[in-house]
């Protein structure tokens, strides 16, 4: 029996998920038209007729819960990678013993937290968007599982985790300038693809934690749970409930609920600012006027003297001044309060393209301090040094500045001491402060 998108997703949508039969793949795609979540929202309407379209062209695999338990060693703490609003993420390994023809590879398995705030709809949105969109700068969805109330997603494994972890983990080697620009460029290309695909998509949740990094720092966008189809015909915007993340969402979207591609451009500007300054988009531990990064930093972006003061101290002056000025000017435009003054992602990509080739140029003192205690050394060991960076610079870079804030403490949750060492208590606190927003302004 063929498994069609209609049979699987519709039955899942109605909450009548059949146990997916192992060793079967979704049937062949018979139409090029990309289907939308709205096509599934009213299963009784005629729109559902279109659902004979399947996702098989994208080679999505349907896994059983039992299979995913095996490949993640029962979601063991040693395989834990991190946790967001959807639920925990564990590393696993798949090969052709699981499905004939399946490439042997590590994967990341995301499990819906049944007590959490997200649910079937976010899962379905992710499957529908990522199942049909393929691009070098979007994370690859390999398959999913939908069994009774359980919802899981299986992605390609991204060895360097999220940009959030790479940029803000205190004891990690600071990302060098050219790597930061490479990440900005890659993420911009992912967003450009979404904005310019046949049926444009607004991503709506562009932020550092949703940018995943391959071993060579190729950036890929993940998490399509909030993605929306762009406006159609003569419509200028999509009206939605306000959802996103504090510190990243565009001001006019928060005020009106009017969503456009320019809302994504604003969020891109915030991430670019995070890359320049090494500060989080929202940081409650800072003085009040500095807590919202975009509001605080924007006036300084067009002034090269003041720009020098807000550049990430962890860069230790090792950046191209010209490159920084150009990136700052771009961030300034992206963060404009008038959406139509923001550049398109196409302009953003063109502007960033040359910047990734600007080498680090020492323009300040090269300051470093050595960690003073054992725990710092442990955290250091958990971080993977970006090896190619040393070659690129041609000189050795010391890794740390002395920490000014308390170090990681809790050992109560074994998952905090996982394979990749992610999700320290401090990072969890930041996540709590930067939670998704919706109309009720969940904070
Ligand atoms: N494909 C992947 N490969 C490697 N690690 C991943 C992958 N997907 C997610 N992770 C890790 O799992 C963690 C949780 O990711 P997830 O996308 O669920 O939440 P988040 O982005 O941190 O938060 P939010 O719910 O706000 O999006 C991330 O920190 C990331 O490092
Ligand atoms: Mg995420």
Q: Which of 81, 110, 163 to mutate to test the pocket of ligand 1 (most atoms within 8 A of CB)?
A: 81
130 lines ligand 1 (CB under 6 A): no
CB neighbours of 346 closer than 8 A, spacing ≥ 6?
A: 192, 195, 196
Residues 131 and 11 in one domain: yes
How are the residues of the chain apportioned to helix, strand and coil, as percentages rounded to the nearest 5? 40, 15, 45
Å from CA of 215 to ligand 2 middle: 18
Write phi, then psi, for 259 (nearest 5 degrees).
Answer: -105, 130
Place of tokens 């963060």: 335
Proximal ligand: closest to the CA of 122: 1
Residues 396 and 307 in one domain: no
Residues 254 and 340 in one domain: yes
Q: Please, what is the average pLDDT of the chain?
A: 77
Residues 276 and 332 in one domain: yes
3-state secondary structure of 105: strand
Residue 195 belongs to a domain with what CATH number?
A: 1.10.510.10
4 lines ligand 1 (CB under 6 A): no
Residues 165 and 269 in one domain: yes
Structure tokens at 415: 């998952």
Residue 275: pLDDT over 80: yes
Structure tokens at 12: 């899942």
Q: Which of 85, 153, 209, 436 to mutate to test the pocket of ligand 1 (most atoms within 8 A of CB)?
A: 209
Single out the catalytic residue among 39, 115, 205, 223. Answer: 205
Residues 433 and 346 in one domain: no
The whole-angstrom separation of Cα 418 and Cα 435 is 23
Domain boundary (107, 123, 156) is at 156
CB neighbours of 266 closer than 8 A, spacing ≥ 6?
A: 248, 249, 250, 251, 253, 334, 335, 339, 342
Residues 304 and 341 in one domain: yes
pTM of the model: 0.79
Residue 55: pLDDT over 90: no
pLDDT tens-digit map of 360-395: 666 554 444 444 444 444 344 445 434 333 333 322
Burial classification of residue 95, based on how many CB atoms lie within 10 Å of its CB (0-12 exposed, 13-18 middle, 19 or more buried): exposed
pLDDT tens-digit map of 185-239: 999 999 999 999 988 999 999 999 999 999 999 999 999 988 888 887 777 787 7
Residues 180 and 149 in one domain: no
Note whether 40 and 51 are within 8 A (CB). yes
Residues 92 and 228 in one domain: no
Catalytic residue list contains 205: yes
User: Does residue 369 lie in a domain region?
Assistant: no
- Please give the C-alpha separations between residue 162 and each of 83, 215, 367, in angstroms, as whole numbers: 11, 11, 27
The whole-angstrom separation of Cα 175 and Cα 12 is 42
User: Does residue 338 lie in a domain region?
Assistant: yes
> How do 238-239 and 228-229 pair as beta strands?
unpaired
Domain boundary (156, 177, 198) is at 156
User: Does residue 118 lie in a domain region?
Assistant: yes
> How do 80-83 and 105-111 pair as beta strands?
unpaired
For the chain, the domain total comes to: 3
Residues 76 and 195 in one domain: no
Cβ neighbours of 149 (radius 10 Å): 11
Lowest mean pLDDT among 24-33, 84-93, 333-342: 24-33
158 lines ligand 1 (CB under 6 A): yes
- Please give the C-alpha separations between residue 273 and each of 174, 199, 331, in angstroms, as whole numbers: 16, 29, 6
User: Does residue 365 lie in a domain region?
Assistant: no
User: Does residue 181 lie in a domain region?
Assistant: yes
Residues 42 and 147 in one domain: yes
The whole-angstrom separation of Cα 376 and Cα 28 is 52
pLDDT tens-digit map of 89-124: 999 999 999 988 899 999 999 999 998 888 888 898
User: Does residue 402 lie in a domain region?
Assistant: yes
Å from CA of 302 to ligand 1 middle: 33
Place of tokens 């990440």: 183
Residues 316 and 427 in one domain: no
User: Does residue 366 lie in a domain region?
Assistant: no
User: Does residue 124 lie in a domain region?
Assistant: yes
Structure tokens at 245: 């993340």
**Domain of 413?**
374-442
Structure tokens at 333: 């435009």
Residue 77 belongs to a domain with what CATH number?
A: 3.30.200.20
Domain boundary (357, 385, 414) is at 357
281 lines ligand 1 (CB under 6 A): no
């Amino acid at each position: 029996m063929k498994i069609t998108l209609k049979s699987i997703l519709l039955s899942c949508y109605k909450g009548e998920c059949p146990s997916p039969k192992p060793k079967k793949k979704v049937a062949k795609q018979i139409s090029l038209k990309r289907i939308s979540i709205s096509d599934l929202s009213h299963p009784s309407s005629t729109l559902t007729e279109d659902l004979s379209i399947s996702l098989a062209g994208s080679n999505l695999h349907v896994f059983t819960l039992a299979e995913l338990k095996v490949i993640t060693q029962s979601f063991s703490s040693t395989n834990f990678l991190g946790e967001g609003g959807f639920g925990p993420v564990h590393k696993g390994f798949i090969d052709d013993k699981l499905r004939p023809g399946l490439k042997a590879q590590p994967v990341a398995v995301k499990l819906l937290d049944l007590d959490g705030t997200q649910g079937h709809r976010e899962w379905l949105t992710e499957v529908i968007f990522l199942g049909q969109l393929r691009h070098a700068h979007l994370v690859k969805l390999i398959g999913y599982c939908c069994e009774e109330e359980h919802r899981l997603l299986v992605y390609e494994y991204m060895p360097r985790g999220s940009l959030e972890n790479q940029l803000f983990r205190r004891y990690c080697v600071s990302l060098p300038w050219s790597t930061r620009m490479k990440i900005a460029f890659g993420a911009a290309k992912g967003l450009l693809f979404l904005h310019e695909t046949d049926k444009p998509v607004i991503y709506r949740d562009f932020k550092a934690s949703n940018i995943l990094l391959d071993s060579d720092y190729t950036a890929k966008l993940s998490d399509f749970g909030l993605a929306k189809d762009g406006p159609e015909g003569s419509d200028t915007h999509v009206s939605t409930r306000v959802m996103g993340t504090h510190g990243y969402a565009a001001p006019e979207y928060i005020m009106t609920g009017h969503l456009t591609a320019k809302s994504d451009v604003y969020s891109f500007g915030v991430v670019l600012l995070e890359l320049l300054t090494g500060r989080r988009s929202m940081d409650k531990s800072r003085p009040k006027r500095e807590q919202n990064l975009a509001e605080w930093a924007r006036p300084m972006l067009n002034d090269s003297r003041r720009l020098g003061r807000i550049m990430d101290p962890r860069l230790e002056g090792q950046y191209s001044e010209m490159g920084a000025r150009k990136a700052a000017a771009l961030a300034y435009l992206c963060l404009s309060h008038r959406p139509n003054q923001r550049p398109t992602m196409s302009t953003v990509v063109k502007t960033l393209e040359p910047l990734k080739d600007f080498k680090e140029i020492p323009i300040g003192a090269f300051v470093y301090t050595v960690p003073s205690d054992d725990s710092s050394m442990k955290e250091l060991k958990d971080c993977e040094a970006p090896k190619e960076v040393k070659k690129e610079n041609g000189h050795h870079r010391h890794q740390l500045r002395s920490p000014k804030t308390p170090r990681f403490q809790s050992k109560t949750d074994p998952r905090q001491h996982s394979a990749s060492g992610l999700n320290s208590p401090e990072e969890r606190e930041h996540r709590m402060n930067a939670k998704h927003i919706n109309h009720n302004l969940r904070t």
